[in-house]
Structure 1
Amino acid sequence: MPTYHYRCKNCGYDFTKEQSFTDQPIEICPKCGAKQVHKVYSAVPITFKGSGFYRTDSKGSSK
């Protein structure tokens, strides 16, 4: 199940919640009760392992 990161615009409370894709997003802050919660989106870190990911790995010599 995916984990989503939320932040309250009213009090600044950060929290995460495991939710199904079909669940409705959380709208009410569990700390202050305000209806100002939004999802926080961030870049997903990826790591390339093995050969073929660098310029020198994917080409032969160009002589």
Structure 2
Amino acid sequence: MPIYAYRCESCGFSKDVLQKVSDAPLTDCPECSKSTFRKQLTAAGFQLKGTGWYVTDFRNGSGGTSKPATTSTTDSGAKTDSGTATAAPAAAPAPAPSAG
């Protein structure tokens, strides 16, 4: 059974109530007895336990979870990804002169 949060619009009294989904909402405030007791919109309170789908699942095409890549810098200042240096692309060699 879900727990619903209620709050009185007149006196500000609030209370969490365990109710069935099919139960009618409460309307009378237990504190001031006015008919201004309303359900509040609250975040769902549940936890996912065990194995399941995570952000890292199947990211690299593997079937299991993978570690996130770590980024660091080398002595030359180039960023590395998991320890592999990424250097700037080398300039293309000049074309050989044609004999003609």
Match of 1:53 in 2: 54
Q: 1 or 2 for the larger relative contact order (CA 8 Å, sep ≥6)?
A: 1
2:5·2:42 contact (CA, 8 Å) conserved in 1? no
Q: How many residues align?
A: 60
TM-score (norm. length: structure 2) = 0.49
State the structure with more CA Rg: 2
Identity %: 32
1:17 correspondence with 2:17: yes
Give the unaligned 5+ runs of structure 2. Answer: 62-100
Q: Secondary structure at the match of 2:24?
A: coil
* In 2, Cα distance between equivalents of 1:60 and 1:39: 45
Residue equivalent to 2:5: 5
Which of the pair is proportionally richer in helix? 1
Q: CA RMSD in A?
A: 2.1
